[in-house]
Protein backbone atom coordinates (compact mmCIF):
# COMPACT_ATOMS: atom_id res chain seq x y z
CA UNK A 1 0.00 0.00 0.00
CA UNK A 2 1.66 3.29 -1.08
CA UNK A 3 1.73 5.92 1.62
CA UNK A 4 -0.93 8.64 1.44
CA UNK A 5 -0.34 12.35 0.78
CA UNK A 6 -0.10 14.74 3.68
CA UNK A 7 -1.35 18.26 2.84
CA UNK A 8 -1.49 21.15 5.33
CA UNK A 9 -3.16 24.56 5.14
CA UNK A 10 -1.65 27.56 6.87
CA UNK A 11 -2.38 31.25 7.23
CA UNK A 12 -3.31 34.00 9.63
CA UNK A 13 -6.61 34.14 11.48
CA UNK A 14 -9.31 35.14 9.02
CA UNK A 15 -7.33 34.01 5.96
CA UNK A 16 -10.18 31.77 4.79
CA UNK A 17 -8.37 28.46 5.45
CA UNK A 18 -11.46 26.73 6.76
CA UNK A 19 -13.54 27.55 3.68
CA UNK A 20 -10.72 26.47 1.40
CA UNK A 21 -10.09 23.18 3.17
CA UNK A 22 -13.79 22.30 2.78
CA UNK A 23 -13.70 23.14 -0.92
CA UNK A 24 -10.49 21.19 -1.47
CA UNK A 25 -11.99 18.17 0.33
CA UNK A 26 -15.08 18.37 -1.90
CA UNK A 27 -12.87 18.68 -5.00
CA UNK A 28 -10.90 15.57 -4.00
CA UNK A 29 -14.09 13.66 -3.23
CA UNK A 30 -15.49 14.44 -6.67
CA UNK A 31 -12.34 12.84 -8.03
CA UNK A 32 -12.70 9.67 -6.04
CA UNK A 33 -10.43 10.44 -3.08
CA UNK A 34 -12.13 10.85 0.28
CA UNK A 35 -9.60 12.72 2.41
CA UNK A 36 -9.20 12.58 6.17
CA UNK A 37 -9.77 16.18 7.28
CA UNK A 38 -8.43 17.30 10.62
CA UNK A 39 -7.32 20.46 12.40
CA UNK A 40 -4.86 21.67 15.01
CA UNK A 41 -5.23 22.28 17.80
CA UNK A 42 -7.98 19.66 18.09
CA UNK A 43 -8.92 16.70 15.92
CA UNK A 44 -8.79 14.11 18.72
CA UNK A 45 -10.69 13.87 22.01
CA UNK A 46 -7.51 14.79 23.90
CA UNK A 47 -6.72 17.49 21.36
CA UNK A 48 -10.12 19.11 21.79
CA UNK A 49 -9.43 19.44 25.51
CA UNK A 50 -6.01 20.90 24.82
CA UNK A 51 -7.61 23.29 22.31
CA UNK A 52 -10.02 24.54 24.97
CA UNK A 53 -7.13 25.12 27.36
CA UNK A 54 -4.93 26.89 24.82
CA UNK A 55 -7.52 29.09 23.14
CA UNK A 56 -9.91 30.01 25.90
CA UNK A 57 -9.57 33.64 26.95
CA UNK A 58 -9.67 32.48 30.57
CA UNK A 59 -6.20 31.00 30.03
CA UNK A 60 -4.82 34.54 30.26
CA UNK A 61 -1.25 34.56 31.49
CA UNK A 62 -0.32 31.30 29.75
CA UNK A 63 3.46 31.48 29.40
CA UNK A 64 4.67 31.29 25.77
CA UNK A 65 6.59 28.08 26.50
CA UNK A 66 3.47 26.51 28.05
CA UNK A 67 1.46 27.53 25.00
CA UNK A 68 4.05 25.93 22.71
CA UNK A 69 4.15 22.76 24.81
CA UNK A 70 0.35 22.48 24.58
CA UNK A 71 0.45 22.83 20.79
CA UNK A 72 3.02 20.05 20.57
CA UNK A 73 1.13 17.82 23.02
CA UNK A 74 -1.91 18.21 20.78
CA UNK A 75 0.14 17.50 17.65
CA UNK A 76 1.89 14.41 19.02
CA UNK A 77 -1.52 12.94 19.88
CA UNK A 78 -3.00 13.83 16.47
CA UNK A 79 -0.04 12.21 14.68
CA UNK A 80 -0.32 9.02 16.73
CA UNK A 81 -4.10 8.76 16.64
CA UNK A 82 -5.15 10.19 13.27
CA UNK A 83 -2.43 11.32 10.86
CA UNK A 84 0.07 8.43 10.85
CA UNK A 85 -2.54 5.64 10.71
CA UNK A 86 -4.32 7.41 7.82
CA UNK A 87 -1.10 7.97 5.83
CA UNK A 88 -0.02 4.38 6.44
CA UNK A 89 -3.40 3.24 5.06
CA UNK A 90 -2.74 5.23 1.87
CA UNK A 91 -5.24 7.99 2.64
CA UNK A 92 -4.86 11.66 1.78
CA UNK A 93 -4.77 13.78 4.95
CA UNK A 94 -5.80 17.46 4.92
CA UNK A 95 -4.75 19.23 8.09
CA UNK A 96 -5.87 22.74 9.03
CA UNK A 97 -2.61 24.08 10.61
CA UNK A 98 0.48 22.06 11.58
CA UNK A 99 3.98 22.86 12.89
CA UNK A 100 4.32 25.94 10.65
CA UNK A 101 1.61 27.49 12.84
CA UNK A 102 3.70 26.88 15.95
CA UNK A 103 6.75 28.34 14.23
CA UNK A 104 4.76 31.39 13.06
CA UNK A 105 2.69 32.03 16.22
CA UNK A 106 4.95 30.86 19.05
CA UNK A 107 8.30 31.15 17.24
CA UNK A 108 7.45 34.46 15.52
CA UNK A 109 4.46 35.96 17.34
CA UNK A 110 5.62 35.06 20.85
CA UNK A 111 9.26 35.51 19.85
CA UNK A 112 10.46 32.07 20.97
CA UNK A 113 12.36 31.70 17.69
CA UNK A 114 12.32 28.96 15.05
CA UNK A 115 15.06 26.76 16.43
CA UNK A 116 13.23 25.52 19.52
CA UNK A 117 10.08 24.82 17.48
CA UNK A 118 11.94 22.81 14.85
CA UNK A 119 13.85 20.91 17.55
CA UNK A 120 10.63 19.99 19.37
CA UNK A 121 9.14 18.94 16.06
CA UNK A 122 12.02 16.53 15.59
CA UNK A 123 11.75 15.18 19.14
CA UNK A 124 7.98 14.95 19.53
CA UNK A 125 6.63 14.59 15.99
CA UNK A 126 9.29 12.36 14.43
CA UNK A 127 10.01 15.32 12.13
CA UNK A 128 6.93 14.40 10.04
CA UNK A 129 6.85 16.77 7.05
CA UNK A 130 3.82 17.58 4.89
CA UNK A 131 4.17 16.68 1.21
CA UNK A 132 2.57 20.01 0.44
CA UNK A 133 1.72 23.09 2.48
CA UNK A 134 -0.69 25.68 1.11
CA UNK A 135 0.03 29.01 2.75
CA UNK A 136 -2.67 31.67 2.35
CA UNK A 137 -0.87 34.93 2.89
CA UNK A 138 -2.32 38.15 1.47
CA UNK A 139 -0.32 41.36 1.97
CA UNK A 140 0.45 42.32 5.57
CA UNK A 141 -2.07 45.20 5.43
CA UNK A 142 -4.87 42.97 4.13
CA UNK A 143 -3.98 40.24 6.64
CA UNK A 144 -4.14 42.67 9.56
CA UNK A 145 -7.43 44.09 8.30
CA UNK A 146 -8.98 40.63 8.08
CA UNK A 147 -7.60 39.49 11.45
CA UNK A 148 -8.99 42.64 13.08
CA UNK A 149 -12.41 42.25 11.46
CA UNK A 150 -12.52 38.63 12.48
CA UNK A 151 -11.45 39.44 16.05
CA UNK A 152 -14.17 42.01 16.47
CA UNK A 153 -16.74 39.50 15.26
CA UNK A 154 -15.40 36.71 17.48
CA UNK A 155 -15.36 38.87 20.58
CA UNK A 156 -18.89 40.13 19.88
CA UNK A 157 -20.18 36.59 19.29
CA UNK A 158 -18.40 34.52 21.91
CA UNK A 159 -17.16 36.92 24.54
CA UNK A 160 -14.91 34.30 26.10
CA UNK A 161 -14.39 31.03 24.22
CA UNK A 162 -11.49 30.75 21.79
CA UNK A 163 -10.88 34.48 21.79
CA UNK A 164 -7.44 34.48 23.41
CA UNK A 165 -5.57 34.84 20.12
CA UNK A 166 -8.23 37.19 18.85
CA UNK A 167 -7.20 39.75 21.44
CA UNK A 168 -3.67 39.99 20.11
CA UNK A 169 -2.43 43.22 18.61
CA UNK A 170 -1.14 44.19 15.17
CA UNK A 171 2.50 43.85 16.25
CA UNK A 172 1.91 40.21 17.16
CA UNK A 173 0.22 39.42 13.83
CA UNK A 174 2.95 41.29 11.94
CA UNK A 175 5.53 38.97 13.50
CA UNK A 176 3.39 35.91 12.66
CA UNK A 177 3.09 37.14 9.06
CA UNK A 178 6.84 37.74 8.75
CA UNK A 179 7.65 34.27 10.09
CA UNK A 180 5.25 32.62 7.64
CA UNK A 181 6.96 34.52 4.82
CA UNK A 182 10.35 33.35 6.06
CA UNK A 183 9.17 29.70 6.14
CA UNK A 184 7.88 29.97 2.56
CA UNK A 185 11.21 31.40 1.39
CA UNK A 186 13.18 28.75 3.26
CA UNK A 187 11.18 25.78 1.92
CA UNK A 188 9.85 26.65 -1.54
CA UNK A 189 9.61 22.97 -2.52
CA UNK A 190 7.13 22.17 0.21
CA UNK A 191 5.33 25.48 0.72
CA UNK A 192 3.14 26.96 -2.01
CA UNK A 193 2.58 30.62 -1.22
CA UNK A 194 -0.84 31.92 -2.24
CA UNK A 195 -0.39 35.65 -1.94
CA UNK A 196 -2.26 38.71 -3.18
CA UNK A 197 -5.81 39.85 -2.65
CA UNK A 198 -7.69 37.06 -4.35
CA UNK A 199 -11.33 36.02 -4.34
CA UNK A 200 -12.39 32.74 -2.72
CA UNK A 201 -12.71 31.18 -6.19
CA UNK A 202 -9.27 32.38 -7.27
CA UNK A 203 -7.64 30.95 -4.14
CA UNK A 204 -9.46 27.65 -4.72
CA UNK A 205 -8.16 27.53 -8.32
CA UNK A 206 -4.59 28.03 -7.14
CA UNK A 207 -4.96 25.39 -4.43
CA UNK A 208 -6.38 22.85 -6.84
CA UNK A 209 -3.59 23.50 -9.30
CA UNK A 210 -0.90 23.06 -6.65
CA UNK A 211 -2.50 19.84 -5.38
CA UNK A 212 -2.95 18.47 -8.89
CA UNK A 213 0.72 19.18 -9.65
CA UNK A 214 1.87 17.20 -6.61
CA UNK A 215 -0.43 14.30 -7.42
CA UNK A 216 0.82 14.29 -10.98
CA UNK A 217 4.42 14.31 -9.82
CA UNK A 218 3.56 11.21 -7.78
CA UNK A 219 1.84 9.57 -10.79
CA UNK A 220 4.62 10.21 -13.33
CA UNK A 221 6.71 7.21 -14.25
CA UNK A 222 9.47 8.05 -16.67
CA UNK A 223 7.91 9.77 -19.64
CA UNK A 224 4.33 8.66 -19.08
CA UNK A 225 1.66 9.50 -16.56
CA UNK A 226 -1.45 7.36 -16.55
CA UNK A 227 -4.26 8.85 -14.57
CA UNK A 228 -7.63 7.16 -14.05
CA UNK A 229 -10.71 8.87 -15.42
CA UNK A 230 -11.45 10.32 -12.00
CA UNK A 231 -8.26 12.29 -12.25
CA UNK A 232 -8.84 13.55 -15.76
CA UNK A 233 -9.54 17.17 -15.18
CA UNK A 234 -8.66 20.56 -16.47
CA UNK A 235 -6.16 21.44 -13.79
CA UNK A 236 -4.05 18.36 -14.45
CA UNK A 237 -4.19 18.71 -18.23
CA UNK A 238 -3.29 22.40 -18.01
CA UNK A 239 -0.39 21.94 -15.70
CA UNK A 240 1.05 19.06 -17.73
CA UNK A 241 0.71 20.99 -20.97
CA UNK A 242 2.57 23.91 -19.39
CA UNK A 243 5.39 21.46 -18.80
CA UNK A 244 5.31 20.52 -22.47
CA UNK A 245 3.38 17.29 -22.06
CA UNK A 246 0.82 15.99 -24.54
CA UNK A 247 -2.45 14.72 -23.12
CA UNK A 248 -4.95 12.42 -24.72
CA UNK A 249 -7.98 10.57 -23.54
CA UNK A 250 -8.16 6.88 -24.30
CA UNK A 251 -10.82 4.31 -23.67
CA UNK A 252 -9.80 0.93 -22.37
CA UNK A 253 -12.48 -1.68 -21.72
CA UNK A 254 -15.50 -0.77 -19.65
CA UNK A 255 -16.32 0.03 -16.06
CA UNK A 256 -15.23 2.85 -13.81
CA UNK A 257 -11.68 2.90 -15.15
CA UNK A 258 -12.69 2.78 -18.81
CA UNK A 259 -11.46 6.32 -19.43
CA UNK A 260 -7.78 6.75 -18.88
CA UNK A 261 -5.95 9.99 -19.44
CA UNK A 262 -2.61 9.31 -20.99
CA UNK A 263 -0.07 12.08 -20.60
CA UNK A 264 3.20 11.82 -22.49
CA UNK A 265 6.26 13.97 -22.46
CA UNK A 266 6.66 15.44 -25.95
CA UNK A 267 9.69 14.11 -27.82
Binding footprint of ligand TYD on the chain (CB under 6 A): 13, 17-18, 40-41, 55, 71, 96-97, 101-102, 105-106, 165
- Which DSSP category does 4 fall into? P
Rounded least distance, CB 256 to ligand TYD, Å: 36
Q: Is 254 exposed, middle or buried (0-12, 13-18, 19+ CB in 10 A)?
A: exposed
Ordered alpha helix ranges (H), the chain? 17-30, 45-55, 64-78, 84-88, 99-102, 114-125, 140-158, 170-186, 200-219, 234-242
Sequence-distant (6+) residues with CB within 8 A of 11 are 17, 135, 136, 137, 180
Rounded least distance, CB 266 to ligand TYD, Å: 43
| Strand pairing class (93-96; 6-11) | parallel
- Percent helix / strand / coil, the chain, rounded to 5: 55, 15, 30
Residue 70 or 215 with smaller CB distance to ligand TYD? 70
CA–CA separation, 106 and 117 (whole Å): 8
Sequence-distant (6+) residues with CB within 8 A of 53 are 59, 70
Q: Reduce the DSSP state of residue 113 to 3 states and report it.
A: coil
Rounded least distance, CB 1 to ligand TYD, Å: 29
Residue 5 or 97 with smaller CB distance to ligand TYD? 97
Rounded least distance, CB 227 to ligand TYD, Å: 32
Residue 75 or 204 with smaller CB distance to ligand TYD? 75
Instruction: Report CA 122 to chain centroid distance, whole Å.
Output: 19
Rounded least distance, CB 8 to ligand TYD, Å: 10
Residue in the shown chain whose Cβ atom is closest to ligand TYD: 105
Which of 203, 206, 211, 204 lies closest to 23 in space, CA to CA?
A: 204
The answer to whether 86 touches 37, Cβ cutoff 8 Å, is no
Residue 4 or 107 with smaller CB distance to ligand TYD? 107
Residue 13 or 213 with smaller CB distance to ligand TYD? 13
Residue 55 or 237 with smaller CB distance to ligand TYD? 55
| Strand pairing class (259-265; 224-228) | antiparallel
Residue 96 or 213 with smaller CB distance to ligand TYD? 96
Q: Reduce the DSSP state of residue 163 to 3 states and report it.
A: coil
Rounded least distance, CB 71 to ligand TYD, Å: 4
Rounded least distance, CB 6 to ligand TYD, Å: 15
Residue 149 or 249 with smaller CB distance to ligand TYD? 149
Amino acid sequence: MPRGHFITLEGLDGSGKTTQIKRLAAWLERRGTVPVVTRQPGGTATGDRIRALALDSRSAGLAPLTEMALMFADRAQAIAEVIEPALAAGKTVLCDRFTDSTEAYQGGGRELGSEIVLELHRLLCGNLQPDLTLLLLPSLEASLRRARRRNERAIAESGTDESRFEQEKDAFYSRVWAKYKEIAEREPERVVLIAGDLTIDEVHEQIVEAVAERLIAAAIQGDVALIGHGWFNRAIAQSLSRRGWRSSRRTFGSGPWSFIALHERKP
